[in-house]
Amino acid sequence: MIVQTTFWMETYKKIIARILERFANVQIRNTACIDSLQRLPEVEKLAKQVDAIIIFGWTEGMTTRMVEVARAFNAYVHKIEKVDDLKLEWLQGKEKVGIIGANETPDWMINEAIERIKSMAA
């Protein structure tokens, strides 16, 4: 069995345990990106600390999973693929806005988005 998942690691472990209980002679190869899986708890933590959260990414699987996790803890979640996607109305009435990038989002793009958010909020 080959696994590549964006599930929580605890969920992944439970699923694998059930499979191993039911089937003999199972070989498991986990190809999940550890960096990606470690972002999900960070998304949860950030979503709980801010009034709105922006997820910056474009890969379908991980970015979508990050949005789902954030929405479980914050009603004001927005996904962007480029800095120009930011909208002023997302910031109105918000004191704290968090931004986190998916693993493919380079730091310079995050920094550019932070500067845009600051200028929009001024």
pLDDT at 65: 87
**Among 95, 111, 102, residue whose Cα is nearest residue 80:** 102
- Does the predicted TM-score (pTM) go above 0.85? no
pLDDT of 67 strictly over 90: yes
CATH class of 35-121: alpha beta
- How do beta strands 29-30 and 2-3 pair? parallel
Q: How confident is the model at residue 3 (pLDDT cuts 50, 70, 90)?
A: low
Domain ranges of the chain: 1-32, 35-121
